[in-house]
Amino acid sequence: MLLQGSEMVSAIEERLGPMRLTQEPIQVLLVFAKEDSQSDAFWWACERAGFRCNIARTPESAVECFLDKHHEIVIIDGRHSRYFEAEAVCRLIQATKPAEHTVIVAVVPQTPSDQEEPSCLPLLSAGFSRRFAENSSVSACYNELIQLEHGEVRAQFKLRACNSLFAALEQCQEAVEISSEDHVIQYVNPAFEKMMGYHRGELIGKHLTELPKSDRNSADLLDTINICMKKGKEWQGIYFSRKKSGDSIQQYVRITPVIGQGGKIRHFVSIKRPYSDNHRQVHKFSREEKGCAENSQSECNSLRHKDRRKESISSHGSDAPSLQNRRYSSMARIHSMTIEAPITKVINIINAAQESSPVTVAEALDRVLEILRTTELYSPQLASKEDDPHTNDLVGGLMSDGLRRLSGNEYVFSKSALHNMSQSQLPVPVPLNDVPPSIAELLNEEKLWEFNILELEAATHKRPLSYLGLKIFTDFGMCEFLNCTEATLRSWLQVIEANYHASNSYHNSTHAADVLHATAYFLRKDRVKGSLDQLDEVAALLAATVHDVDHPGRTNSFLCNAGSELAILYNDTAVLESHHAALAFQLTVRDIKCNIFKNMERTQFRTLRQAIIDMVLATEMTRHFEHVNKFVNSINKPMSAIEETSSNSEGSDCEGPASIRNSPENRLLIKRMLIKCADVANPCRPLELCIEWAGRISEEYFAQTDEEKRQGLPVVMPVFDRNTCSIPKSQISFIDYFITDMFDAWDAFASLPGLMEHLAENYKYWKNLDEMKCKSLRPLPPP
């Protein structure tokens, strides 16, 4: 077999979308003779990662446990040979059948800095997958486990899936042939051997041109097939093949290019079955071949889209054996099962519609399919950069992860309070009843949308989050829900606020407090309150509080371009949002004095934790349009239709809208929309607050551009140059592109007329400044 393991993973990766590759949760076996800080660290790391963990103390018990559980990861202590030989334990496990797809890790001692790193070859020879240098940090062990999950373990799952797929191919009654991109045969199944009269040993490794060809295929047909293959298009139709005996056999053939690594064609899969002359669809296939020949210059637009479910049934005539009919009926049922993703079903419907469509319609549907197969389904197409540079730069900076171009300059985070401030160094939190009168007076207004967070910032000496958080959390019964004391809650707020960077002009604890205020305001709206339960409310308030913790004042694109440690850790994907969520829980659980979750029941905590993480990740802008469009299509439109129907009929059922809002899926969309709107609500604040926040975010972007130029990094948002930028234009672009549609949808749901009035007023303000050719926050004074 020419396909190696890594090649096979790449070859089928695109084909495994509907197939479940992972077992939940992953199981880990720790083989440690004695309990110590290293084994404890791996145990707690498994707990944090949500993995199931077993511990074995002897080689015998390790093998017994492994045979019982079939762990995906085995970690063997190789530091102390006086208890057992790690290599021997590894060989024992490798000798078992379930170990074929298991990742085995050796824990080895740290190498002193003055000694040379020992070779890993003996460990690899013994059967280990990798080694882990002794490190009793829970975070280090957690990172190791997560990297294993997304690396070796996932690869093993894919290889396991390959075995299942090839087992299916071996039993498949259709003839299957897989060739390389260069048309060298790499696999044929038994049905192919039987149909063509060859043994696979006679075929594998041979180029397709080396095999005898039937002379019954027209030159036009062969040209059409070649054009489709070169264009990466699927071809299907009637084809004559020559058997080993020399006889020609008429077949219905489907040839599918398989896109692999680098986006290139890596393999061709041909599926063949005998074709009868009395087949009822012979005229349709003749039309296909003719159509393909006519359209070969336009990428064979109309030849490749056929409904797979229909083929499995209709390609066999009524005179076929009943066993065959039953088999194809079964295939049709399999194709209609729920393993198909919704987008796949949509594509199949369009494919079926193309069968009876005129050429012009079929070509139009081709273009529709090309759009549907892209990954950017929810992102609008922008005008050219020359037409609207502000919008292009803003979108490029907020909705991409940078140019993936690393330089010699490494951007490093400021060390958070997790590293440089102990709990004892933080100011002693003030109980709510002891809040200074000047601050208490401001907090009395917090239920109003016009609440001035900047006045609270000044009164609290840039510590508004702790005070506002305590007030809002008390109003929402946070302590009662979490079963924690007010002192614990106060300590938690202090720790979280200490990890916001006061030096940031925008992403500081005042922004967090502002988002928390907006979140609480939205949660008090009747329709929102009627849609969410108390756990949802608590999750939303906690997510708002931590959603930008330890923000460095730079965008994700900047961090990716600078090759920051976090960008590498999170694979350039939702870097900051992943960091905010992870750090929030690290800060919470590291000290019992501020662990607000310590008394929660485990299942409820995991539900709350997932809700918080989901909401924090929803603030990442790359999926902005996806979240907004899902909210509009799943909530706004169905509710509007029901309400419209209800208004036109007497005694209508008012439970319809509530049932839409209260489904788990739609509650998730509501929470995401809520925190997204709270996070960028500045344009909907009173004008003076809107202006101040616009100045702060602009200053942060200016500072980023300055640093990009100093470090020689790609400038993500060139229009945010402090010497040339028009702040009014940037605000207009932001409102037009991100804010208006989102708040229209949120207002339609939550009823926020006051916010929409502020938004209209603020937009008019920026428009007037722009028309005056003013680039600053306020009109220039008259000369």
Q: Could you tell me if 60 and 27 are in contact, meaning their C-beta atoms sit under 8 angstroms apart?
A: no
CATH of domain 172-274: 3.30.450.20
pLDDT above 80 for 645: no
What is the model's pLDDT at position 45? 93
Of 108-122, 146-160, 552-566, 571-585, the one with minimum mean pLDDT is 146-160
Annotated catalytic residue within 71, 316, 390, 507: 507
Domain 13-111+120-162 has CATH 3.40.50.2300: yes
Residue that the structure tokens 């979490």 belong to: 482
What is the model's pLDDT at position 5? 38
What is the model's pLDDT at position 717? 92
| 507 labelled ligand-binding | yes
What is the model's pLDDT at position 376? 59
pLDDT above 60 for 316: no
Distance CA 542, CA 525 (A): 18
What is the model's pLDDT at position 454? 97
- Rounded to 10°, the helix 464-475/534-546 angle is 180
| Chain mean pLDDT for the chain | 82
pLDDT above 90 covers a percentage of the chain that reads 51
Long-range pairs for 259-266 at CB < 8 Å and ≥24 separation?
259/14, 259/232, 260/10, 260/11, 260/13, 260/14, 261/10, 264/181, 265/181, 265/232, 266/7, 266/10, 266/11, 266/180, 266/181
Q: pLDDT tier at 657 (50, 70, 90 boundaries)?
A: low
| Range list of H helices, 450-503 | 453-459, 464-475, 478-482, 486-498
Q: How far does Cα 475 stand from its chain's mean position? A: 35
pTM (whole model) above 0.75: no
What is the model's pLDDT at position 661? 74
What is the model's pLDDT at position 527? 93
pLDDT digits (tens, 9 = 90+) for 333-359: 333 433 455 666 777 788 777 766 777
Mean per-residue pLDDT, 245-262: 86
| 510 labelled ligand-binding | yes
What is the model's pLDDT at position 330? 37
Higher pLDDT, 665 or 542: 542
Higher pLDDT, 362 or 290: 362
Joined tokens for residue 377: 């389904």
Joined tokens for residue 447: 């239920």
| 277 labelled ligand-binding | no
Residue that the structure tokens 């920026």 belong to: 766
- Rounded to 10°, the helix 664-679/509-523 angle is 140
Distance CA 609, CA 684 (A): 30
Listed residue (704, 532, 505, 712) closest to 635, CA to CA: 532
Residue 254, SS3 per DSSP: strand
What is the model's pLDDT at position 322? 47
Joined tokens for residue 326: 């039953």
Joined tokens for residue 628: 């907004």
Distance CA 199, CA 309 (A): 31
**What CA–CA distances, in Å, run from 473 to 94, 432, 468, 600?**
54, 11, 8, 17
Mean per-residue pLDDT, 672-701: 97
Q: φ and ψ at 337, to 5 degrees?
A: -70, 170
Q: Could you tell me if 106 and 131 are in contact, meaning their C-beta atoms sit under 8 angstroms apart?
A: yes
Joined tokens for residue 461: 């000496």
Distance CA 129, CA 138 (A): 21
**Edge to edge, what strands does the sheet with 52-56 contain?**
52-56, 27-31, 73-77, 103-108, 130-133
Residue 48, SS3 per DSSP: helix
Higher pLDDT, 215 or 704: 704
What is the model's pLDDT at position 355? 67
- Rounded to 10°, the helix 602-618/664-679 angle is 50
- Which residues have C-beta within 8 Å of that of residue 283, sequence separation ≥ 6? none
Of 411-420, 530-539, 670-679, 746-755, the one with minimum mean pLDDT is 411-420
Taken as a whole, the chain contains a residue count of: 783
What is the model's pLDDT at position 375? 55
Mean per-residue pLDDT, 194-222: 88
Joined tokens for residue 634: 């799943």
Listed residue (84, 72, 82) closest to 31, CA to CA: 84
What is the model's pLDDT at position 99? 85
Fold type of domain 389-399+431-641+658-772: Catalytic domain of cyclic nucleotide phosphodiesterase 4b2b (1.10.1300)
What is the model's pLDDT at position 152? 83
Distance CA 701, CA 122 (A): 52
pLDDT digits (tens, 9 = 90+) for 530-574: 999 999 999 999 999 999 999 999 999 999 999 999 999 999 999
Q: pLDDT tier at 140 (50, 70, 90 boundaries)?
A: very high
DSSP symbol at 654: T
Distance CA 169, CA 161 (A): 12
Distance CA 615, CA 577 (A): 10
Residue 634's CB: how many other CB atoms inside 10 A? 17
Q: Could you tell me if 559 and 575 are in contact, meaning their C-beta atoms sit under 8 angstroms apart?
A: yes
Residue 6's CB: how many other CB atoms inside 10 A? 12
Distance CA 207, CA 213 (A): 12
Q: pLDDT tier at 219 (50, 70, 90 boundaries)?
A: confident
Long-range pairs for 218-225 at CB < 8 Å and ≥24 separation?
220/289, 220/293, 221/289, 221/293, 223/293, 223/296, 224/289, 224/292, 224/293, 224/296, 224/300, 224/303, 225/255
Higher pLDDT, 445 or 276: 445
| 547 labelled ligand-binding | yes
Q: Could you tell me if 56 and 30 are in contact, meaning their C-beta atoms sit under 8 angstroms apart?
A: yes
What is the model's pLDDT at position 687? 97
Distance CA 90, CA 106 (A): 9
Domains of the chain, residue spans: 13-111+120-162, 172-274, 342-374, 389-399+431-641+658-772
Higher pLDDT, 288 or 50: 50
Buried b (16+ CB within 10 A) or exposed e, 590-619: eeeebbbbeebeeeeeeebbebbbbbbbbb
What is the model's pLDDT at position 293? 38
Decide if 507 is catalytic: yes
| 679 labelled ligand-binding | yes
What is the model's pLDDT at position 286? 39
Mean per-residue pLDDT, 215-240: 84
Q: φ and ψ at 360, to 5 degrees?
A: -65, -40
| 423 labelled ligand-binding | no
- Which residues have C-beta within 8 Å of that of residue 262, sequence separation ≥ 6? none
Mean per-residue pLDDT, 425-445: 79
**What CA–CA distances, in Å, run from 165 to 9, 189, 417, 709?**
12, 12, 51, 52
Judging by DSSP bridges, how do beta strands 248-259 and 265-274 pair with one another? Answer: antiparallel
Distance CA 109, CA 534 (A): 48
Residue 703's CB: how many other CB atoms inside 10 A? 17
Of 46-60, 187-201, 291-305, the one with minimum mean pLDDT is 291-305
Sign of torsion, CA 39 40 41 45? positive
pLDDT above 60 for 138: yes
Strand partners, 502: none
Distance CA 758, CA 756 (A): 5
Amino acid in the structure at residue 219: A
Residue 505's CB: how many other CB atoms inside 10 A? 17
Mean per-residue pLDDT, 84-99: 90
pLDDT digits (tens, 9 = 90+) for 376-419: 566 565 555 555 666 666 666 666 555 433 333 344 444 344 44
What is the model's pLDDT at position 320? 41
Residue 650's CB: how many other CB atoms inside 10 A? 5
